[in-house]
Amino acid sequence: MPRLILCADDFAFSPSVSATIAELAGEGRLNATSCMTVMPNWAADSALLTGLSPQVAIGLHLVLTEEQSVTAMPGLAPSGTLPTIQTLERQATKPGLPLAEIAAEVEAQFDRFEQAMGRAPDFIDGHQHSHALPQIREVVLDIAARRAPEAWLRTNEEALPALLARPFRGKALASAWHSRGFRAAAARRGLACNHGFAGHYDFRGDYAALFPAFLRHPGQAHLVMCHPGTGARGGCDRGGPARRGGGIAPPAARADCRGSGFDLSRLNAPSAPIMSGGLKALILEQRPALLRLLVARLGSHAEAEDVLQDMWLRIDTMVDRPIDQPVAFLFRVAANLATDRRIAMQRRTARDSAWHAAQPRAEELPDTERALIARDRLARIEGAMAEMPERMQTALRLSRFEQQPQRAIAETLGISVSGVEKLLRRGFRKLVEAVEDDGADLHDRRRHDDEGTGG
């Protein structure tokens, strides 16, 4: 069943807008609102959000355009007023964007949210969707992963058939275009996003009449934005344009949504804790996103598949208690396993280099002596392998002689891919030691021969 998120943007735009949004949320006609913590009335208006149902998600509406910044930004906002979205869009496509200033501003807006609400936001989006612009998105996602890892982030990405089936296609297409790649970038950090986005509107027509069209071709976590409330900022000490009403669906809309098969619970509402058996089902459900994360981290589809299989085999041993946020947990596990695999890949490269470096060059040995040494080395290797445990011998044979990938070896031996890696690492160490001992013996024999000749 698709989940519907009906979100009122711009809480704290003005006291009257805040009051309207809080009233609608209290009546159950909204289940999300995003807050402009840059506004001077934010701290006072935030009190209106206390006592709302836990099913109403309260998010951070990052502001990087047209308002006054919280922090000093001599590069982006030398006058104190942030640039227009058009100016910021142009700057985001070029080098020289003051990312350190933007990061400090985003941190300050997070601070203001936490000071007023006593917790991290449930979700994160941006005024005029500026949080999804190139370069800026990396800053926002990095800070969100650190300060609100359980939050979801807004993306305007949408399938073309869905965009064409809804009103204001031009706006929707432009919005989806500038968000392209955002969901994948969030997934690389273990962050979730909405799936489906609608609500583009010209602030002049009848929003209630348009609302059913916003529900066409919904995604699995379908976000519809709205902008209720009108009027000037009577209670604010900052300048700025008066707000034109963005409408809100009438009271019947929520009943209509339920009748259409929508789940109106929060996107990241606390769910029942999941143990390892449920996590395996969740791995299957999240497999495409997990695989994208691992490919991005490892640069290899084959390595990513190996890590995902390793995760599947090991998940039972990783969990000894219920997991409250299972999806976020799986993405953290995948990211940690990817880091372990990168380290293992580096060690494997170093080990192979050491193996090849230990081999004598052909020109260093006479033909007869080379044959003798080769037979002696082979005997030493065979002796070293004979002393190894059977599984280690099998892993080495399948890897070196039959050129099988580690995933296939893991299936043959009935162990995890990381278990195969450990067997190979220990086995190669024993073989290298045997070859190095061989080289020391060869040096001793040469010295003995030289001394005999000299005598």
Looking at residue 244, its pLDDT comes to 46
Mean pLDDT of all residues in the chain?
81
The β-bridge partners of 6 are: 224
- If you average pLDDT over residues 356-379, what whole number do you get? 66
- If you average pLDDT over residues 180-208, what whole number do you get? 86
pLDDT band at 315 (very low <50, low <70, confident <90, very high): confident
276-294: per-residue pLDDT in tens? 456 787 788 788 888 888 8
pLDDT band at 319 (very low <50, low <70, confident <90, very high): low
Least confident of 111-125, 351-365, 399-413: 351-365
Which residue from 112, 216, 116 is spatially nearest to 159, judged by alpha carbons? 216
Least confident of 225-229, 341-345, 362-366, 425-429: 362-366
Looking at residue 84, its pLDDT comes to 97
72 has pLDDT over 70: yes
* Residue 195 near residue 220 (C-beta atoms within 8 A): yes
User: What are the φ and ψ backbone dihedral angles of 225, each rounded to 5 degrees?
Assistant: -90, 155
36/188: higher pLDDT: 36
3/113: higher pLDDT: 113
CA angle 159, 165, 171 (to 5 degrees): 75
- If you average pLDDT over residues 309-315, what whole number do you get? 84
Long-range contacts of 109-113 (CB under 8 A, 24+ apart): 109/37, 109/38, 109/60, 109/62, 109/63, 109/70, 110/60, 110/143, 110/147, 110/148, 112/37, 112/38, 112/42, 112/43, 112/70, 113/35, 113/37, 113/60
Q: Which run of H or E residues covers position 355?
A: helix 326-358
- If you average pLDDT over residues 188-198, what whole number do you get? 88
Looking at residue 261, its pLDDT comes to 61
d(CA 332, CA 326): 10
pTM of the model: 0.60
239 has pLDDT over 80: no
Looking at residue 70, its pLDDT comes to 97
250-262: per-residue pLDDT in tens? 433 343 444 456 7
314 has pLDDT over 60: yes
pLDDT band at 242 (very low <50, low <70, confident <90, very high): very low
298 has pLDDT over 90: no
